[in-house]
Structure 1
Amino acid sequence: MAQEEDPVQLFNMHISHIGINATSDEEAEQIVSKFQTLMGLQRNVVAPVSVFAGTLVEVMRPGSNRGEKGHIGLYVNDIPAAERWFEARGFQIDQNARALNPDGSTHLVYFKDQIAGFAIHLTCDE
């Protein structure tokens, strides 16, 4: 595959984090605690919908789940360009699942379709 066809090279794409769906707040805390112990990560709350273990594992609180089995956040260094690249290859963007930064730029955006039960989103956060 040529570099111009490789999103890993084009956009410095890599897994930013994995998202795990919890069925209760207690389960969310238990999952985060296990990843803290396993990987030495710190508990981190970025938004009320989830709790992180470091930046690598996001545990979604009940009612905030994305994807049947969870989600995968893919870091890219240029979200608008990555969106165009993926759309040209048939991956539709879910415009209703776009989160914006205060300056109006995209913080994250989900694809419409899941892969193997996982929602997939692009993000510019590492």
Structure 2
Amino acid sequence: MTYCQEKKIPVVPGCSCASDIERALELGLTTVKFFPAEQLGGLKMIKALAAPYTKVNFMPTGGINAENIKEYMQVEKIVACGGTWMMDAKAIKEKDFDKIKKLTEEAVKSMLGLTLQHVGVNASPSTSKEVANQFATLFGGSTRETTKGYFGSESIEVMNQGGGTHGHLAVGAYNVERAKHYFETKGFNFDETTAKFDATGELKFIYIKEEINGFKVHLVRRTSR
């Protein structure tokens, strides 16, 4: 560990208990690899360790797979997961790189947890409440007033002054910073002036610069995980 630090090489120490974490903290390291994760108690153990070690982030490996990675990545203290299921041994032997690509893409999708959180519909200040009431009736919900308009249901927001030509789409993600980086690799640009952060400094909201067919799109931390 000290050699890597002296050479300014990023290092993530492997930890399996509180004593290991204490040693990492003594070296000023606050991100640790938790291994073997599932065999040591999985999420329950990570949450138990995270409670007293509030400054520590975890990278679990060992027993992570396509089924449970989604549960792991919903925990804010987990910065990444490692697993070998994406590199299927048979696919490697047969050089089936299409399968490896598919498994990797599925893992990324699970990690991001992208979902359509709500749709924003533009309306005039004089009609926005009436429009919201109609949506509330349609979806069996109730109208809720906000600073910019009304929610006609949990999934429909009627805006007095919308962000896009026609409205906007709110895309939920487990981690907004992670989703932002992913979309940047896909060529999207973000309006940094719209960024909002929580009390810990974590990004929780930001708009994509470009409209898509008249709709603005913003990322938002998922309200349900």
Same-fold call, TM > 0.5? yes
- Which residue does the alignment assign to 1:92? 189
- Which residue does the alignment assign to 1:5? 105
> Are residues 84 and 39 of structure 1, via their aligned partners in 2, closer, same or farther at CA, if it must alter by over 3 Å?
same
Secondary structure, aligned partner of 1:15: strand
Whether the 8 Å CA contact 1:71–1:120 is kept in 2: the answer is yes
> How far apart are residue 99 of structure 1 and its match?
2.3
TM-score by length of 1: 0.86
Ranked by relative contact order (alpha carbons within 8 Å, sequence separation 6 or more), the top structure is: 1
> How far apart are residue 2 of structure 1 and its match?
2.6
Within 5 Å, give how 1:1-126 maps onto structure 2: 2-5=102-105, 8-24=109-125, 26-45=126-145, 47-61=146-160, 64-126=161-223
Q: Distance in 2 between matches of 1:34 and 1:21?
A: 14
Runs ≥4 in structure 1, deviation > 4 angstroms?
none
> Are residues 88 and 38 of structure 1, via their aligned partners in 2, closer, same or farther at CA, if it must alter by over 3 Å?
same
Q: Distance in 2 between matches of 1:3 and 1:32?
A: 41
How many correspondences in the alignment?
122
Q: Distance in 1 between matches of 2:152 and 2:103?
A: 33
RMSD, aligned CA = 1.8
Whether the 8 Å CA contact 1:3–1:9 is kept in 2: the answer is no
The runs of 5 or more residues in structure 1 that have no matched partner are: none
Q: Distance in 2 between matches of 1:42 and 1:3?
A: 41
Q: Distance in 2 between matches of 1:3 and 1:59?
A: 39
> Are residues 28 and 116 of structure 1, via their aligned partners in 2, closer, same or farther at CA, if it must alter by over 3 Å?
same
Q: Distance in 2 between matches of 1:115 and 1:60?
A: 18
The runs of 5 or more residues in structure 2 that have no matched partner are: 1-100
More helix by share: 2
Secondary structure, aligned partner of 1:2: helix
Q: Distance in 1 between matches of 2:116 and 2:129?
A: 22
> How far apart are residue 51 of structure 1 and its match?
1.3
> How far apart are residue 78 of structure 1 and its match?
0.9
Give the number of the structure whose alpha-carbon radius of gyration is greater.
Answer: 2
Secondary structure, aligned partner of 2:127: helix
Q: Indicate the larger mover: 96-105 or 47-56.
A: 96-105
